[in-house]
Amino acid sequence: MTTTPAITPVLEAGVAQARSLLPPMLREQVATLGDELGRICGYQLGLCDADGDPLHGCGGKLVRPAFSLLCSAAAGGSADEVLPAASAIELLHNASLIHDDIMDGDHARRHRPTVWARFGVPLALLAGDALIALGFEVLGGHRHPATASAVADLARTLRHLAIGQEQDLRFEREQGIGIEDSLAMLGGKTGALLACACRMGARHASAPPDWTDRFGRFGMHIGVAFQLVDDDLGIWGDPGVTGKPVGTDLRARKKSAPVVAALQAGTADSARLARLYATPGDLTDTQVTFMADLVEGAGGRTWALAEADRRISAAWDLLDPLDLDLDARRGLVELTTALTTRRY
Amino acid sequence: MTTTPAITPVLEAGVAQARSLLPPMLREQVATLGDELGRICGYQLGLCDADGDPLHGCGGKLVRPAFSLLCSAAAGGSADEVLPAASAIELLHNASLIHDDIMDGDHARRHRPTVWARFGVPLALLAGDALIALGFEVLGGHRHPATASAVADLARTLRHLAIGQEQDLRFEREQGIGIEDSLAMLGGKTGALLACACRMGARHASAPPDWTDRFGRFGMHIGVAFQLVDDDLGIWGDPGVTGKPVGTDLRARKKSAPVVAALQAGTADSARLARLYATPGDLTDTQVTFMADLVEGAGGRTWALAEADRRISAAWDLLDPLDLDLDARRGLVELTTALTTRRY
């Protein structure tokens, strides 16, 4: 019998700050939704259990608000100024999780039933809409010179999330998806919201427009790198650590980035992998392990991890010329490193 | 054989203006969604058919934007100033129609398949999200002093729509729903968006805050009256005119306002109606006609139509003290009268 090492999550500075500042604001927002929607949205946010009984803290890691807080501090802003925007980002993130779980038919998230699995599709759909409403309400109600541009940015980001998710659904069915398509989809699905989180930080710190743009491109690169690492874990992650079965994404025949890279490589392994992807029916553990080996053999894994490294490097190239607050910059390095070297 | 009278819709001034001004802006917005989501959202808005081929004009009647335009003109504003807000209202209205049709399992709307029935639930869900995004994008991107407060208002309205729809879903299952619950639900489901449409008009005309509030309460009353008339047509509407089967709402055992009033009246007919509502299984045409008679016998129809009249009267009490543009005021009277005396 093997023992699984206990996970002792280290809270990076930005995450610790987000976890102390956000839950009170999120609780206040959710309380405006009435008993039923309030309970369901609180459940998704990890503020309460399915019966509405309060939980300590917040279920999500609050990575995106942590980026908003750190980017704001890096650009010389205060946490107070960016907090409503950070909350708005977290509310929209959770809305998209609820809606994506409906679309993907996923039953579990964060070791609990997904919202639709627990409360049914109609209420889950409404809960997602309600969280979008709260996001724009907390952002639009913030008296700050950046509010109008922040709202337009958040709306544009929500549009890109929808387009990214549409591509993700379509790519599952389509043949011949290229690496560029795949990266564009990752940019929409994961990059766009992290880019927005980082722009909010710079914008609410009243940094020059050039800084806002740079922080946004920084966030986009980090978001894509984060998703590439996630795709790697979806194939090669240790089930004892990730809490998901071996090769989840292969089993669902997801066209994640390493798979697309492998399929496009034109090797004998690529052709074998394509045949297995085209064959319907459930896969055995042996087949899943064989497919993972094919992705690796065709160079998909190496490409994806190298692309993640390139993205992180490109991200820092954007911020390095700026005169940032050093503590906050260190926090950003810590958080970025933790996200892209994680095993969970 | 009886002949159904041809419907020759008369376009009230506000509606005619909305139909000439909105479609170009809506087309531009929808074009930013990419081919697939753009086509689906264009289909919902009546801008194109299901294959993406353009249609003339716009499928919806554009009642809500017409109220924004008329209220703006009544308060001395220009159409240009309020147009982005009017578009935002129409975009959110269509988002809520798409999502409500998923929740209610409705197959047809405006004589065409609903979005989920035509494109499947996942894409319908995303299309609704995309329309919400576009609504906030067009409003947030509008350079106008009222933008920040308009965004907060639109977000609050989206929250009230979600709460109203949640109540509607819950009331179908619950016993003992009172008239006040029912009116509150109508206020959320239909009143909130019309109230917001009217507030947008006053706000973008830079009218005093007191006017914005009055126009909002005016819109809320009109919205509730509109829904009460809709509930009446859902039971007693002529199928040849409404395009829906006789007694649609009774067949679905909807707790519409006339039914709630009848159930609460404490008469012998109320008790008979309650028993029929509690009996599962499909209803014959004879049973549906009998139920309609019970609702009428218990006073539900009289109450609902009297309440609609009270609402219209209360609505005008709010605007009558104001010094409004007379042409626009006449347009508001025309439109309000058309909506609350319609037979379709």
pLDDT in tens, B155-170: 999 999 999 999 999 9
- Of the candidates B123, B159, B166, the beta carbon closest to that of A123 is on B166
- Mean pLDDT value of segment A169-197: 93
- Mean pLDDT value of segment B79-98: 97
User: What kind and span of H or E run contains A113?
Assistant: strand A112-113
SS3 A243: coil
Q: Give the per-residue pLDDT at B11.
A: 67
DSSP A178: -
Q: Is A173 near chain B, with CB under 8 Å?
A: no
From the list A133, A34, A181, the residue with the least C-alpha distance to B129 is: A133
How many CB pairs below 8 A link A and B?
A: 151
The CB density around residue A178, as the number of other CB atoms within 10 Å, is: 12
Q: Is A71 exposed, middle or buried (0-12, 13-18, 19+ CB in 10 A)?
A: buried
Please give the residue that has the higher pLDDT: either B262 or A173: B262
How far apart, in whole angstroms, are the C-alpha atoms of residue B86 and residue B139?
9
Confidence of residue A195 (pLDDT cuts 50, 70, 90): very high
pLDDT surpasses 90 at B293 = yes
Global pTM reads 0.93
Chain mean pLDDT for chain B:
92
pLDDT surpasses 70 at B304 = yes
> Residues A144, A81: contact at Cβ < 8 Å?
yes
pLDDT surpasses 80 at B57 = no
Angle at the Cα of A202 from the Cα atoms of A201 and A208, rounded to 5 degrees: 165
Among residues of chain A, what percentage have pLDDT more than 70? 94
- Matching residue, tokens 């065409």: B112
pLDDT surpasses 50 at B265 = yes
- Mean pLDDT value of segment A335-339: 92
- Residue A113 makes CB contacts below 8 A (sequence gap 6+) with A50, A107
- Mean pLDDT value of segment A102-123: 92
Look up the domain containing B70 and give its range.
13-340
Structurally, how many domains does chain B consist of? 1
> Residues A124, A49: contact at Cβ < 8 Å?
no
Confidence of residue B344 (pLDDT cuts 50, 70, 90): low
Among residues of chain B, what percentage have pLDDT more than 70? 95
- Mean pLDDT value of segment A178-196: 95
Q: Give the per-residue pLDDT at B238.
A: 83
Please give the residue that has the higher pLDDT: either B43 or B12: B43
Q: H/E/C letters for each residue in B99-139?
A: HHHHHHCCCEECCEECHHHHHCHHHHHHHHHHHHHHHHHHH
Q: Is the Cβ pair B140, A121 closer than 8 Å?
A: no
- The reply to whether B170 falls in a domain is yes
Q: Give the per-residue pLDDT at A4.
A: 41
How far apart, in whole angstroms, are the C-alpha atoms of residue B44 and residue B116?
10
Contacts of A132 in chain B (CB under 8 A): 129, 132, 158
pLDDT surpasses 90 at A11 = no
- The reply to whether A1 falls in a domain is no
Chain mean pLDDT for chain A:
92
How far apart, in whole angstroms, are the C-alpha atoms of residue B319 and residue B199?
12
Among residues of chain B, what percentage have pLDDT more than 90? 76
Q: Looking at A20-24, A49-53, A110-114, B292-296, which range is the least confident one?
A: A110-114
- The reply to whether B8 falls in a domain is no
SS3 A295: helix
pLDDT surpasses 70 at A6 = no
pLDDT surpasses 80 at B55 = yes
- The reply to whether A56 falls in a domain is yes
Q: Is the Cβ pair B122, A169 closer than 8 Å?
A: yes
Please give the residue that has the higher pLDDT: either B4 or A101: A101
Residue of A nearest to B153 (CA): A137
Q: Give the per-residue pLDDT at B248.
A: 79
Q: Give the per-residue pLDDT at A10.
A: 55
Q: Is A271 near chain B, with CB under 8 Å?
A: no
- The reply to whether A339 falls in a domain is no
Residues in chain B: 344
Confidence of residue A212 (pLDDT cuts 50, 70, 90): very high
B112-139 CB burial, b ≥16 within 10 A, e <16: bbbbbbebeebbbbbbbbbbbbbbbbbb
- Mean pLDDT value of segment A53-60: 80
- Mean pLDDT value of segment A175-193: 93
- Matching residue, tokens 């085209």: A278
pLDDT surpasses 90 at B5 = no
Q: Give the per-residue pLDDT at B8.
A: 42
Q: Give the per-residue pLDDT at B240.
A: 73
Put simply, the chain B residues between 109 and 148 with a CB less than 8 A from any chain A CB are 121-123, 125-130, 132-137, 139-141, 143, 147-148
Question: pLDDT tens digit string along A254-277?
Answer: 899 999 999 999 999 999 999 999
Q: Where are the alpha helices (DSSP H) in chain A?
A: 13-30, 34-45, 63-74, 79-104, 115-119, 121-140, 147-173, 179-186, 192-204, 209-236, 239-242, 248-251, 257-264, 268-278, 285-297, 300-319, 326-340
Q: Is the Cβ pair B155, A162 closer than 8 Å?
A: no
Q: Is the Cβ pair A130, B162 closer than 8 Å?
A: yes
Confidence of residue A167 (pLDDT cuts 50, 70, 90): very high
Q: Is B184 near chain A, with CB under 8 Å?
A: no
Q: Say which amino acid occupies A97.
A: L
Distance spanning both ends of chain B, measured CA to CA = 21
Q: Is B103 near chain A, with CB under 8 Å?
A: yes
Q: Is the Cβ pair B140, A155 closer than 8 Å?
A: yes
Distance spanning both ends of chain A, measured CA to CA = 21
Confidence of residue B3 (pLDDT cuts 50, 70, 90): very low
- The reply to whether A157 falls in a domain is yes
- The reply to whether A341 falls in a domain is no
Q: Is B106 near chain A, with CB under 8 Å?
A: no
Q: Give the per-residue pLDDT at A341.
A: 85
From the list B215, B28, B189, B200, the residue with the least C-alpha distance to B93 is: B189
pLDDT surpasses 60 at A128 = yes
pLDDT surpasses 90 at A98 = yes
pLDDT surpasses 90 at B9 = no
Q: Give the per-residue pLDDT at B4.
A: 41
Q: Which CATH number fits the domain that encloses residue B175?
A: 1.10.600.10
Q: H/E/C letters for each residue in B11-45?
A: CCHHHHHHHHHHHHHHHHHHHHHHHHHHHHHHHHH
How far apart, in whole angstroms, are the C-alpha atoms of residue B275 and residue B283?
13
> Chain A closest CA to B134's CA: distance in Å?
7
- Of the candidates B122, B123, B151, the beta carbon closest to that of A140 is on B151
pLDDT surpasses 70 at A238 = yes
Residue of B nearest to A95 (CA): B129
- Mean pLDDT value of segment B183-204: 96
pLDDT surpasses 90 at A280 = no
- The reply to whether A40 falls in a domain is yes
Q: Looking at A6-10, A252-256, A335-339, which range is the least confident one?
A: A6-10
What are A326's two structure tokens?
A: 């050093």
Q: Give the per-residue pLDDT at B22.
A: 96
The CB density around residue B208, as the number of other CB atoms within 10 Å, is: 11
Sign of the C-alpha dihedral computed for residues A315, A317, A319 and A325 taken in this order: positive
Please give the residue that has the higher pLDDT: either B187 or B243: B187
Confidence of residue B10 (pLDDT cuts 50, 70, 90): low
Please give the residue that has the higher pLDDT: either B281 or A343: B281
